[in-house]
């Protein structure tokens, strides 16, 4: 899922300084699962906005709502039901949702309520870790399912650097060296020979270095 975190309240209060009516819009997708922008977080942010504005002597009204998703045109169109009732939207979806609102509602003012972080998973209650970089050219079949692009600090493709000590990365003792983990895993599963293959110089164009990415599926387009 996409991992996000709520922005500091004072930052959001500053964003909506000119608005008297704010639509706080959550998303039931990834940000709901990582407790950053679901229904509960919408309720909290709306309350914090009212408190923050009250403290500054500003009057603000909030509408609280949560869409199924904010990354599909159909759901963005549903914002029509609040037409004329808000001056600005604070989207608590990931950056995709904010962009979709901006793309599809040219006259609406939209602000981000969260900082979008990474693609990750829930390591334990309240802890999320990055697992995938979305680089567009997956090599997990060669690395035992562990991603060196996202989980190696240097995104190395041919084994660990000299900073790998006792299975730990030099950037932080809490960060495991993913290349050590890849080696251990491939050894354990009898596939260490996979490491003999030398990865060629990587073409990063699929990782966004060639501009914004687009996927077109002719079998699905209408």
Partner 1 sequence: MSFTPDIQIFCCHYTSQQAIAEGADGLKEDGLPAGATINRLPCSGKLRVSTLLKAFEDGADGVCVVGCPADKCHNVTGSQRAAHRVLAVKKALAELGVEEERIEMHHLERGFHPEFIDAAVAMNERVMGFGPSPFKDEETPAEKAPKKAAKKPAKKATTKAGKKPAKKGGKKK
The answer to whether 8 contacts partner 1 (rule: CB under 8 A) is yes
The answer to whether 37 contacts partner 1 (rule: CB under 8 A) is no
Question: Which residues are paired to 172 by β-bridges?
Answer: 169
Q: Where are the alpha helices (DSSP H) in the chain?
A: 9-15, 30-33, 39-55, 73-77, 95-104, 148-151, 178-188
Q: Which residue has the tokens 């993913």?
A: 178
Backbone conformation region of residue 179, classed left if phi is above 0, alpha if psi is from -120 to 50, else beta: alpha
CA pair distance 112, 99, nearest whole angstrom: 9
**Choices 42-50, 97-105, 150-158, 213-221 (CB under 8 A): range interacting with partner 1:** 42-50
The answer to whether 91 contacts partner 1 (rule: CB under 8 A) is no
Q: Which of 18, 74, 80, 81 binds partner 1 (CB under 8 A)?
A: 81
Q: Which of 55, 173, 209, 213 binds partner 1 (CB under 8 A)?
A: 55
Tokens of 147: 């991603």
Q: Using a CB cutoff of 8 Å and minimum separation of 24, what contacts does 187-190 make?
A: 189/144
Closest separation in Å from C-beta 61 to partner 1: 7
Q: Which is nearer to partner 1, 85 or 189 (CB)?
A: 85
CA pair distance 88, 18, nearest whole angstrom: 9
Q: Which is nearer to partner 1, 65 or 132 (CB)?
A: 65
Q: Which of 1, 5, 28, 39 binds partner 1 (CB under 8 A)?
A: 39
The answer to whether 51 contacts partner 1 (rule: CB under 8 A) is yes
Q: Which of 1, 33, 58, 64 binds partner 1 (CB under 8 A)?
A: 64
- Give the count of beta carbons closer than 10 Å to the beta carbon of residue 122: 14
The answer to whether 40 contacts partner 1 (rule: CB under 8 A) is yes
Size of residue set near partner 1 by CB under 8 A: 28
What residues line the site for partner 1 (CB under 8 A)?
Answer: 8-10, 13, 23, 39-40, 42-44, 46-48, 50-52, 54-55, 57, 61-66, 81-82, 85
């Amino acid at each position: 899922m996409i991992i996000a975190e709520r922005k500091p309240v004072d930052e959001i209060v500053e964003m909506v300084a000119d608005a008297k009516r704010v639509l706080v819009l959550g998303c039931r997708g990834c940000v709901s699962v990582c407790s950053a922008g679901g229904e509960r977080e919408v309720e909290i942010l709306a309350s914090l906005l009212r408190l923050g504005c009250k403290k500054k002597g500003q009057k603000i009204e909030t509408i609280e709502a949560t869409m199924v998703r904010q990354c599909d045109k159909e759901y963005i169109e549903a914002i029509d039901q609040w037409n004329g009732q808000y001056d600005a939207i604070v989207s608590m979806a990931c950056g995709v949702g904010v962009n979709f609102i901006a793309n599809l509602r040219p006259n609406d003012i939209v602000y981000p309520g969260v900082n979008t972080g990474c693609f990750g998973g829930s390591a334990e209650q309240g802890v999320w870790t990055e697992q995938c970089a979305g680089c567009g050219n997956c090599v997990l079949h060669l690395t035992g399912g562990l991603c060196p692009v996202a989980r190696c600090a240097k995104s190395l493709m041919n084994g660990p650097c000299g900073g790998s000590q006792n299975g730990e990365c030099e950037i932080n003792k809490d960060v495991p060296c993913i290349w050590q983990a890849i080696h251990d895993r491939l050894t354990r599963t009898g596939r260490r020979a996979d490491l003999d293959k030398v990865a060629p110089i990587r073409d990063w164009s699929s990782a966004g270095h060639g501009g914004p990415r687009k996927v077109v599926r002719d079998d699905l387009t209408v």
